[in-house]
Amino acid sequence: MFVQMKRIVVKEGFSEPVLAKFSGEGKLEKQPGFIDLAVLKKNVRRGDEEVVVYVRWESEEAWKNWEKNPDHIAGHKANLGKPKPDHVLESSQATYHVHAVK
């Protein structure tokens, strides 16, 4: 199993659009090797809000196939050259090989 995690930090009060973007149905769920996706929001009282998108794949190869998928590439090209929204403070991505699940 292989996991992709996206971390998005936004200004206070701006997590809802990010949550909605990743919670809605998309083409990702129909990709071969896709297992599931979880959208997490860090519970904060005041200040910046953090959203984590946790995607499980059957294998690293399945994830790489999604990364090369024309639909995925087109989505990123649509935003090419556009500045990131003002409410997005930072974003990052990491991938992991899963060694144990209990």
Which pTM value belongs to this model?
A: 0.85
d(CA 40, CA 19): 8
Q: What is the pLDDT, as a whole number, of residue 20? A: 93
Strand partners, 57: 2, 34
Q: Is residue 29 in some structural domain?
A: yes
The pLDDT score that the predictor gives to residue 65 is 95
Residue pointed to by tokens 């998108």 = 53
Predicted local distance difference test score (pLDDT) of residue 43: 75
What is the C-alpha separation between 42 and 57, in angstroms, rounded? 23
* 102 located within any domain: no
What does the pLDDT read at residue 81? Answer: 76
The per-residue pLDDT for 90 is 92
- How many CB atoms within 10 Å of residue 79? 9
**Over its length of 102 residues, how does the chain's per-residue pLDDT go in tens digits?**
999 999 999 999 999 999 998 998 888 999 999 999 999 998 777 789 999 999 999 999 999 999 998 888 887 777 777 788 888 999 999 999 999 999
Domain that residue 43 falls in: 2-97
Instruction: List the CATH number of the domain containing 9.
Output: 3.30.70.100
- Domain count along the chain: 1
